[in-house]
Amino acid sequence: MRQLMIAALLGLCASAQAYAQGAADYPSRPIRFISISAPGSGGDTLVRLLADKMGGVLKGNLVVDNKPGAGGAIATDMLAKAPPDGYTIGIGGATTHVLLPASNTKLPYNSVKDFTHLGQVGTAAILLIATNDFPANDLKELVALSKKSPGTVQYASWGNGSTGHFCGELVKLRTQADMQHVPYKSVAQIQTDMLGGHIKLAYVDMASGSPMVKAGKVKALSACTSRSPSLPNVRSYDEDGIDFEGKRMGALRWAVYAPAGTPKPIADKLSAALRQVVAMPDVQARLLDLGITAAFVGGDELREMTAADIESWKQIAKAAKISNE
């Protein structure tokens, strides 16, 4: 028995030493960075920014792999099933880790248990945009228009159960607006159709929508859920009384994850690199250009926030009958 205990202890020591050595040598090959966004989108710009900066901190190479579709569920499930060796990480956030779980109990992944939460990058509003000829200029005018002409107002989002879908249905719940949801596969497709005049109203991420608004290609009607420093003149849901029955909503965030079971020394190294990158002044300025307010949150706290936010948004999913099952 004593010999078995000694052997077990030696084994544990060897494993700990191997992990430590692995972290010291990490990364020794390129790291795959899975993106939920299509190439050229605002979300893709964010991933490439993080990949470049984290690569510099880690003295390694992060290679972006775009896997858009299903509101980010395809990429997120791929990340959950990747080897937990530190050589696959991914971007995600409100849709992938809060809203899809709130509207689909049959997701192939568990957003709390199946990931090593590396850290939050920042928070961002979702932007409600319209073509310049759309006959409403803010949220109140949109609600009035939808009631005056029932059945005529359609809004796009990047998929059933996406953040944009939830934002649209929340307006309907709180104001009884008459709007129909049109799901797209990606924000990039929404942008193409909007500029082509095929859809007049849409929810997009701030990173994609803000440059369009600033260039005068479309106009902004509202920010869900809070006012964004990128477009400070655009009123928010908070200001128009659209909330969780008087309570402020959980933040809409961008965050970085690794598969569950990633060795702690490696996860800690990745998290520390992300924290360092988010604190860089040039990165914070670029994030602001993308409509993102830099706000690093560590992995343990992020996991707790995610679990709490899922329960809050389940209320909206149930009331609005949003289901992806």
Mean pLDDT in residue range 119-143 = 95
Which two tokens mark 101?
A: 């779980």
* CATH 3.40.190.150 in the chain, residue ranges: 31-124+251-320
| Total Cβ atoms within 10 A of residue 279 | 11
* CATH 3.40.190.10 in the chain, residue ranges: 126-240
Mean pLDDT in residue range 297-325 = 89
Amino acid 19: pLDDT: 47
Q: Tell whether the model's pLDDT for residue 11 goes beyond 60.
A: no
| 114 vs 292, higher pLDDT | 114
Residue positions counted in the chain: 325
Amino acid 190: pLDDT: 95
Mean pLDDT in residue range 12-33 = 72
Helix/strand/coil percent split, the chain, to 5: 45, 20, 35
CB contact at 8 A, 179 and 154: yes
Amino acid 46: pLDDT: 94
Global pTM value: 0.80
CB contact at 8 A, 137 and 221: yes
Question: 222-274: per-residue pLDDT in tens?
Answer: 999 888 888 999 999 888 888 755 555 566 899 999 999 999 999 999 999 99
In this prediction, residue 3 has a pLDDT band, given cuts at 50, 70 and 90, of low
Mean pLDDT in residue range 213-223 = 96
CATH number attached to the domain at 31-124+251-320: 3.40.190.150
Separation between Cα atoms, residue 31 and residue 90, nearest integer Å: 10
Summary mean pLDDT of the chain: 89
Q: Tell whether the model's pLDDT for residue 207 goes beyond 90.
A: no
Of 114-128, 212-226, 253-267, 311-325, give the lowest mean pLDDT range: 311-325
Question: 180-195: per-residue pLDDT in tens?
Answer: 999 998 888 999 999 9
| 290 vs 250, higher pLDDT | 290
C-beta contacts of 150-154 below 8 A and 24+ residues apart: 150/178, 151/178, 151/180, 153/177, 153/178, 153/179, 153/180, 153/201, 154/179, 154/180, 154/181, 154/182, 154/199, 154/200, 154/201
Amino acid 297: pLDDT: 96
| Total Cβ atoms within 10 A of residue 196 | 9
Identify which of 157, 136, 156 has the alpha carbon closest to the alpha carbon of residue 146.
Answer: 136
126-240, CATH topology level: D-Maltodextrin-Binding Protein; domain 2 (3.40.190)
CB contact at 8 A, 94 and 302: no
Question: 75-98: per-residue pLDDT in tens?
Answer: 999 999 999 999 999 999 888 999
In this prediction, residue 12 has a pLDDT band, given cuts at 50, 70 and 90, of low
In this prediction, residue 15 has a pLDDT band, given cuts at 50, 70 and 90, of very low
Amino acid 248: pLDDT: 54
